[in-house]
Amino acid sequence: MNFTLHIWRQENAKAKGSFETYKVSDISPDCSFLEMLDILNEQLINDHIAHPVCFDNDCREGICGMCGLYINGRPHGNDDGVTTCQLHMRKFKDGDEIWIEPWRAKAFPVIRDLVVDRSAFDKIIQAGGYVSVTTGGVPDANAIPIPKRFADMAMDAAECIGCGACVAACKNASAMLFVGAKVSHLALLPQGQVEATERVKKMVCRMDELGFGSCTNTYACEAECPKQIKRQNIARLNREWICQIFGGNKRPE
């Protein structure tokens, strides 16, 4: 398969970027998107055309959340429930023009080419997305009773890999799905409930400070999340926030 790639090139965070056009040929349909970029980079190096294109990646099996490219108007490309590394070239047509852009958000500044700084997510987690436990002996499994349904919902929320596709897809660059998932997976479990009130306050305030937008219920985040985190997590975040305002300790699931 042959493709024409329009890739955002930007020397560094301060430089003015622009799109560059490259052609790649003889790409196997079974090739993943990142492997296709590897082939391009090899070409660029061997033929002394340009610096290789920088892009984030790590596990390449869709679980680490490092990779993330805005491909033809969709974060992680034209496939549902996958990260960029799990997107395959068979999803494209031979001879397609592919536009590749970095995540665009005030909170995610471009570092170089397609690499963005997502440490804003880490800062939100540092604000309260944890459980303060005194370390000690490992408790017995099932020592704390948790209903199966709650455990399942917590697990679904905990699937979030923090790739930032929700922010990239959102027209307001809002991080509500990310924060919603992170608040949810702790709020649903007994261990997380002790600090739940403080957590939601700190994480939401930090999110606002870092320059993420506010949610307008467009659900682009839900549509593009590679882990298919549901909008119900945002509703739960709103619920937790209301509980926080009114200072109650009772939080419905």
Partner 1 sequence: MDTHKLIKISSITKKLLIGLFGAFLLVFLLFHMCANLLILLHDGGKAYGAFCHFMGSDFVKIFEIILFACFILHAVLAVWVWFLNKRNRPVGYHKPSRTKTAKGSKLAIVSGSLLLLCLVFHFYDFFFVKINFVEGTYMVKTEEFMNNSPTLEVSEEAQMVFLNLINDGKASDDMLWIRQISAEDKAVLQEAFPEAEFEPDFYTIAHQKFSVWHIVLCYLVFFFLVGLHIRHGFESAFQTFGLNHYKYSRLIEVLGIIYCWVICLGFAIVPIGVFFGL
Binding of residue 231 to partner 1 (CB under 8 A): yes
Binding of residue 105 to partner 1 (CB under 8 A): yes
Binding of residue 185 to partner 1 (CB under 8 A): no
Nearer to partner 1, 32 or 174 (CB): 174
Nearer to partner 1, 43 or 218 (CB): 218
Binding of residue 112 to partner 1 (CB under 8 A): no
- Shortest spacing between CB 16 and partner 1, in angstroms: 10
d(C-alpha 71, C-alpha 85), whole Å: 12
Binding of residue 224 to partner 1 (CB under 8 A): yes
Cβ(180)–Cβ(158) below 8 Å:
no
Structure tokens at 51: 């610096």
Nearer to partner 1, 182 or 239 (CB): 239
Q: Count of residues binding partner 1 (CB under 8 A)?
A: 50
What is the distance of C-alpha 85 from the center of its chain?
Answer: 13
Binding of residue 217 to partner 1 (CB under 8 A): yes
| Position 193, amino acid | Q
Nearer to partner 1, 43 or 76 (CB): 76
- Shortest spacing between CB 169 and partner 1, in angstroms: 5
Q: Which stretch binds partner 1 (CB under 8 A): 51-59, 104-112, 127-135, 187-195?
A: 104-112
Structure tokens at 134: 């005194």
Helix (H, G, I), strand (E, B) or coil at 46: helix
Cβ(90)–Cβ(29) below 8 Å:
yes
Nearer to partner 1, 60 or 91 (CB): 91
Burial status of residue 29 (CB atoms within 10 A of its CB: 0-12, 13-18, 19 or more): exposed
Binding of residue 206 to partner 1 (CB under 8 A): no
Q: Which of 126, 191, 214, 228 binds partner 1 (CB under 8 A)?
A: 214
Contacts with 237 (C-beta within 8 Å, 6 or more apart), sequence order: 176, 179, 180, 183, 184, 200, 204
Binding of residue 43 to partner 1 (CB under 8 A): no
Nearer to partner 1, 111 or 223 (CB): 223
Cβ(221)–Cβ(176) below 8 Å:
yes
| Position 177, amino acid | L
d(C-alpha 176, C-alpha 241), whole Å: 12
Cβ(165)–Cβ(226) below 8 Å:
yes
Please give the residue ranges that form the binding site for partner 1 (CB under 8 A): 6, 8, 19, 70, 72-75, 78, 99, 101, 104-107, 110, 169, 171-174, 204-205, 207-208, 211-220, 223-224, 230-232, 234-242, 245
